[in-house]
Structure formats: structure tokens, C-alpha cells
């Protein structure tokens, strides 16, 4: 997913990520987009050091693992 927005909030920063698109159907991003074409993830952190790990326009893996 790609960071599209970082917003300063009253108590921290909000980081918005959206799926990455690729017109190459064989690329990793092309395969991901085919399965998950839309949506977003928004994180809010009060830890400035954690927020510095995110940069607008950079891509990040997001992993959802079911908790048993």
C-alpha cells in the first residue's frame, strides 16, 4: 500500500494508505490490485518517532493475520 496522506492531528498524526496500482498484470502490485482494487487503511499514532517511519508516496506491506 502507498502512503497518500499524513495529517497532523490534535493528538498525533494520521497516516492514510491506499492500494497500489500497476498496469503490469504480472507485477506484485498488479496481482494485488486485481484481488483488492479499492479501499484504504488509516492509522493514527501519538508516537512521533513511529510516524517518521512513513513517507508520502512510499509503499509498505500491510499484513492482516487472523488471531485465533
Residues of the chain under the 50 pLDDT cut: none
What is the tally of structural domains in the chain? Answer: 1
Lookup: cell for 59? 509503499
> Residue 66: what pLDDT?
95
Residue 33 lies in a domain: yes
> Residue 14: what pLDDT?
96
Can you tell me the distance from the alpha carbon of 33 to that of 24, in angstroms, rounded to the nearest whole number? 10
Residue 64 lies in a domain: no
Residue 67 lies in a domain: no
Residue 58 lies in a domain: no
- Residue position matching grid coordinates 499524513: 6
> Residue 32: what pLDDT?
75
Residue 39 lies in a domain: yes
Residue 24 lies in a domain: yes
> Residue 37: what pLDDT?
67
Residue 40 lies in domain: 2-51
Residue 8 lies in a domain: yes
Residue 30 lies in a domain: yes
Amino acid at each position: 500500500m502507498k502512503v497518500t496522506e499524513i495529517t497532523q492531528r490534535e493528538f498525533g498524526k494520521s497516516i492514510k494508505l491506499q492500494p497500489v496500482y500497476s498496469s503490469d498484470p504480472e507485477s506484485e502490485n498488479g496481482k494485488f490490485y486485481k484481488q483488492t482494487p479499492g479501499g484504504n487503511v488509516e492509522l493514527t499514532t501519538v508516537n512521533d518517532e513511529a510516524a517518521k517511519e512513513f513517507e508520502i508516496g512510499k509503499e509498505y506491506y500491510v499484513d492482516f493475520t487472523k488471531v485465533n
